[in-house]
Every structure is written in structure tokens, then in C-alpha cells.
A and B are shown apart, each in its own frame.
Chain A
């Protein structure tokens, strides 16, 4: 099977965390960026032509992903291609996925792939896409949607909600819906034939329709113009769309099942190499229930935390239930609870910061508190 990957880098509404970066380049899990999971899922499937679609703030994304070398995408043919809003003069900025693919049509045209996998940086998972591709081909349908149970709770608004009947056929499809628990949540992973996708994109853009879930999936399914296959995913899927979700899903890595499914699962997760030294634990360090990346120097206390690369925690400092991003320094005697410290933050000795589980305190990149 010859497959092209398309990754949507996404904007995000996470305040200070995504002011200066895409959701795809948001740091996660001690040493990763969100996009690493999508890239690694594609790389493990042997996909060697990937379009990375982004519209805002993509400096940090390009800086991280670079030529795609870490994912085996630094190729002369195919490889990694950035698709930015300025690739087409007829579209000012992307209003939806279909519009962004429209600007990428020349890139889709030139490859000889049969199928396209569309995947999103907002949902983290370690998925064997080969199985999804096989299921798609076997189903003979136009679109395969990957969906996950246990996400819908009546409160979270889902981009795409799917209800299956007992035969595994679609009983209901809904877009931007706070679906009840018996719905599956679309994971923003789709498989479609490339030629069909290209034809649909041209048709939709001609009619000023640009929304993937609403216009292409839901509308065509309702009108009986497209057949939709649902692939239920049984692994861990973490939806990081709000600060609360991001915070909760970061600390979820402390649970063995989540950690092992996400990192050991089907394949390794690759990221940009930083060549930092191993983490050093000082004589008086007290580290409990933490995820710790390389390069840290830990002399203080930490409990229930995710600590990124090259973080310093000085003695008598105590950090609990927090996410501490790389190169941050926490001074002597500081006390932190429920905080997210972005990169390069300096916490002065003795500082006290206490947030809550649902509204953690966020300190912006480079700030001193």
C-alpha cells in the first residue's frame, strides 16, 4: 500500500502555552512535542511522504521537526513538506481542513500514493496505522474514521461524534456535539483514497465548503453520497485541546498503563535529539511518582510531576502536581503546587505558587517569578 500522510498542526486555545506555538509544538511528556506522536505513528507505518499543515505561529514547529530526520523523512523524493497558508494566493488563510488541503493539492498530485492518512496533533496515541489501512481497504468504503470510546461524557464537545449500532454500523453522526457516553469520539484520524479526496476537495471548495467533519463526512454521509467506515481504537488516546485536558493528560503518564501504552505500545516515539546528560539526583533529593527527562539536576523534592529536560530543582524546593518544562530553574525553598511552568522560567528562591487541578497556574516562557 502506498500511503501519504497529512498532519494538521492546529492552532490551540491554551492561552499562554500556545500564544507562541502551534498545538503540534506544545511540549508533552518530558521530552516530546505533541506532533511527535503523529509523526511516529506515520513513520512506523512506513509512510515516507508527509505534508505538515500549519497556519499560525509555526516557527517553533519548524524548529522542532526540521527536515524530519528523526522520523526518517529527510528524503529527496517525498519526505516531509510544510504546507503553510502562503502556498496558494487564492486562499487567504485556512478556515478548515478542506481549504488547507486545497492549497496542498499540487503536493498531493505529484506523489504516486493511493491512500491518504489524515492525522491531527491534538490527539496523542500510539496506533498501528497498518491495521487501520487494512480495515479501510477491506471495508471498501470511501472514508474510514478512527474513533475512541470513553471520551464522550456529555460535557466535552467532540469535533465528530459517532454512535454505532450492534452491528458496528453507524447509527448517528454528529459534529461539534457534547455527545453522551454511548458515542465514540472521532480521533481526527481519517483514511481515504487520494483521488477521491482530491475530487471532493475541489468540489467542496468550489461551493465554498471547507469543514472536513461537517461538510465532507457528515453531509455526504447524510445524503448517502459517501460511505463511512468506523475503526474503533482500543488503546490510550489523549485529547489535549484545553489547558485542563493537557494538565490532566500530562500527569496521567504517572499511571503505568497510560505510559506503557503510549510509549511502548506499538512502536517507539521519536523526537528531536538534544544530547543532554542523564538526570542527576543529588544526595538530598526526594523524587516520588514523577516522570523525569534527561539533563535535570535535582536536589529538592518533587511529587506527581512531569519534569522536562535540563530542569534544575534546588535544595529544599518542593514541587507537587506540576508540569515543569525544559531549562526551567526552581530556586531554593520554593514551593509549587498545580503549576505549569513553560520553558526557561526562573522561580526565585522561596517563591510560593499554588494553583488547582482544574486551573493550574501557568507561567509564561522565559518569565521570572
Chain B
């Protein structure tokens, strides 16, 4: 078979369990978790690839892949199903030499798919995470990498100093080159946090992946092993600073926040009206939404296929939801296919796909700004009985 040589391909790490999303990822891989009304988290890095001119994407899956694989399909929604483009799902597999099995770490996942990458003979490989919400032009980052003649370039963002100890911190020289990498440092020397977005020269990465695999003590991780090894070997690593919106939606709170940050007249993350850098998503053939005469909707996103009879304030309502008469939804993320029966009240909640809130049931509560907010969550397909109460922070 003929494979076109590619200057740059992307490898998207989508195998993580996302255990901090609790019930939302019990049966779904984190990248397949719905976001923003009509998207799934993976739509953001995938669309970024397409919008950056990267047409070959390997997607490394492992945890609960059924829904994710179905969703990616042949890559058609992102235009990755053409003669010389692909969205190739890469699950763990068995090999003759025992070097196979479950992906042991992020670096091992790429190591096990060296054959896939070699087909395209790429100059550069972009390594991405499947659990971040942002829009970014990877082409600009690759150009920066190339211009600086680096072996590896890592995207960084400035974080507040007091939060820096939660991140992988890159300490740089004035020219942007990295001299030190510290994973979650107690006393951070700088505020350049790694965003988990890497550009590598493929020849260098290949060599280091093979060496890393030989090292019995390695945890086969980019942050813990590959990056420090590259630094120790004297390779040139550059930090690429990115100032746009970026959010790791790995926790219930951050997933809720990121959804809320789409709202408002001047949202923190504005995805409206940007015709050139659209976020693409698999289509569900839903009709337009119906908004009833008694509905009241303020400061909210409503996706297609909804029927709204009640009140919606400061919320994201996803595809195909029904909000019954007299129901109230506030400060909530309602995932696709949810039914909220008449009279139910939902506050500060994330309602998982196809869950059902019974008539006059109550989910969550209101919070003062000083209180520690606790998001109530329903799992996919969960049912809250009529008149039942789901307390703040509770999950079903």
C-alpha cells in the first residue's frame, strides 16, 4: 500500500480512564465525555489538528473504548477520511516479542505504535492529550519548533505562582530554551506550566522511545521520563508559550467550569461565530429545537433537538433534551438526551447522558460565592425518581 510522506502527524493520547470524573467516565473514556452542548472533549484536539493542516491523526485508546471508537468512526466529521488523511484508532495489541500489552504509560503507547508512525515517514510528530478544551494552531507551534532547530518543543502557559506546584513546570532561559523540568515542584522557580502538547523531531523521539522501553525502571511517561532524558542528553528543548484559553477538564469541577465559561456576552472561551476555526463534531440528525410559549431562557446554550417548556438560566443544554413545564435548570450542564420532567429543579449539576429527572424532583442546591461549591452528578442513563432529592455533591 502507498503512504504519502507527511511533514507532520499527530498522536492523540485518548486512553486515560479519567477516574476523577467519577460516574461520568464509568462507561465512557474521558475524551468521549460530552462538552459544550454538541461536542465531545476529543472534538477540540481533533478539530485543532484539522484546522492546523494536520491530516493524519493516530488516536491511542485503551479505557472503555466502545463509545469513543464509535464516535471517531472513519474520521468523516473532521474530514479525516480522505485518500491521504486518516483518524486511525490505535488500541493496544499483541505482538510476537512480548513487548506488547496494555499501554504502560504515555510514552509506551507511542512506542507500541512506532510502525504506524513510520508509514508516513514524518519529520515531526505532535503529541496531544484527549482531555483538554482549547483552540490552538499547531502549525504555528511546529513552525516555531522548526525555526529554533529544537528536538522537542513543549507548549506552556503562565499559571499563578501559588498554583504552579500542581503542574509540570518548565524552567527556561531568556531565549525560551528549557534547562529544567520539574514535575509538581514544591517550590516552583517559574510559572511556565506544561500543557501536555509536544512537538518532536520524529528521529529523536523514536530513538528515545526505544531507549526508554529498554529501561526497566522507567514509568514510560513523557513528563517523567522522555523529557528529562532529552534534557540530560543535551538536546535543545523549547518552550512555546500559549496565551489563549486552555482547560484541563479532568475533574467534575473543571468540567463544569469549562462549560460555564462558554456563556455570557463576553465568554472566557468564545466558540461562537468563528467560521474559520470551527469545532467539528459527529452529527446526530437532530431537528431544530422547539422553545415553548412558557419557556424562559437566559444566558444559556441550547443545542439542536431540544424541547424547552420550563426555565433555563446560565446552563448548557445539549442535543435532544426535554425540559418539562415548570422545571427550572440553573447553573448546570445537561448532557445529550436528558429528560427533566415537569416541576423538577436542577441547580449546580452535571446531568449525564440520557439521565432522567423525575417530576418535582430536586437536584443540587444554590451556593453563596464563599461556600465551597459541590456539583451534583447523574451518571449516564441514571434515573432520579419523582419527588426525590439529590443533595449538593451527591452522585447517582
Contacts and interface: CB of A to CB of B under 8 A. Distances in A.
Interface of A: 29-31, 69, 253-254, 256, 259, 263, 268-271, 273, 275-295, 297, 303, 306-307, 310
B273 interface: yes
Contact of B77 (A31, A269, A273, A294): A273
Contact of B37 (A256, A263, A268, A278): A278
A311 to B, nearest CB: 11
A275 B304 contact: no
A291 B288 contact: yes
Contacts of A282: 265, 298-299
A270 B287 CA distance: 9
A292 B291 contact: yes
A297 B304 contact: no
Contact of B287 (A263, A275, A276, A290): A263
A290 B309 CA distance: 11
Given A29-B287, A31-B288, A278-B316, 13 more contacts: A253-B290, A263-B287, A273-B77, A277-B37, A278-B303, A281-B312, A282-B299, A284-B298, A285-B298, A286-B296, A289-B292, A291-B290, A294-B38
Contacts of B293: 288-289, 303
A198 B279 CA distance: 47
Given A283-B265, A292-B289, A297 B272 contact: yes
30 contacts: A29-B287, A69-B76, A263-B287, A268-B286, A271-B285, A275-B280, A277-B36, A277-B271, A277-B279, A277-B301, A278-B301, A278-B317, A279-B289, A279-B301, A279-B302, A279-B303, A280-B272, A280-B300, A281-B298, A287-B291, A288-B291, A289-B293, A292-B289, A292-B302, A293-B288, A294-B288, A295-B272, A303-B293, A306-B288, A310-B273
Interface of B: 36-38, 76-77, 263, 265, 271-273, 278-281, 283, 285-304, 312, 316-318
Contact of A289 (B285, B291, B304): B291
* In the A-B complex, the 10 residue pairs with the closest CB atoms: A30-B288, A278-B37, A263-B287, A278-B303, A268-B285, A278-B301, A281-B297, A293-B288, A273-B283, A289-B293
Contacts of A303: 293
Given A275-B281, A277-B271, A282-B265, A259 B287 contact: yes
Contacts of A307: 288
Given A278-B304, A282-B298, A291 B289 contact: yes
Most buried by B among A263, A279, A283: A279
Nearest to A256: B290
A292 B298 contact: no
Contact of B285 (A29, A270, A283, A294): A270
B286 to A, nearest CB: 8
Contacts of A292: 288-291, 302
B53 to A, nearest CB: 18
B297 A293 contact: no
B265 A290 contact: no
A276 B290 CA distance: 17
Contacts of A285: 297-298
A163 B318 CA distance: 47
A263 B284 CA distance: 13
B298 to A, nearest CB: 5
B287 A280 contact: no
Contacts of A268: 285-286
A287 B297 contact: yes
B289 A283 contact: no
Contacts of A270: 285
Contacts of A294: 38, 288, 303-304
Contacts of A293: 288-289, 304
A273 B292 CA distance: 25
Contact of B304 (A31, A259, A284): A31
A131 to B, nearest CB: 21
Contacts of A284: 298
A268 B270 CA distance: 31
B260 to A, nearest CB: 13
Contacts of A290: 290-291
Most buried by A among B38, B290, B300: B290
A30 B302 CA distance: 14
Contacts of B295: 287-288
Most buried by A among B38, B285, B296, B301: B285
B361 to A, nearest CB: 24
Given A275-B279, A287-B297, A281 B292 contact: no
Contacts of B281: 275
Contact of B299 (A263, A278, A283, A289): A283
A269 B283 CA distance: 12
A208 to B, nearest CB: 44
A285 B263 CA distance: 14
A320 B288 CA distance: 18
Contacts of B289: 279, 291-293
A249 to B, nearest CB: 15
A297 B291 contact: no
Contacts of B285: 268-271
Nearest to A312: B273
Contacts of A278: 36-38, 301-304, 316-318
Given A275-B280, A288-B293, A280 B301 contact: yes
A191 B228 CA distance: 71
Nearest to B285: A268
A310 B36 CA distance: 17
Contacts of A279: 289, 301-303
A270 B288 CA distance: 12
A277 B272 contact: yes
A191 B333 CA distance: 48
A19 B89 CA distance: 47
A292 B317 CA distance: 14
A214 B174 CA distance: 84
Contacts of A275: 278-281
Contacts of A297: 272-273
Contacts of B318: 278
B287 A254 contact: no
A277 B279 CA distance: 8
B316 to A, nearest CB: 7
A281 B299 contact: yes
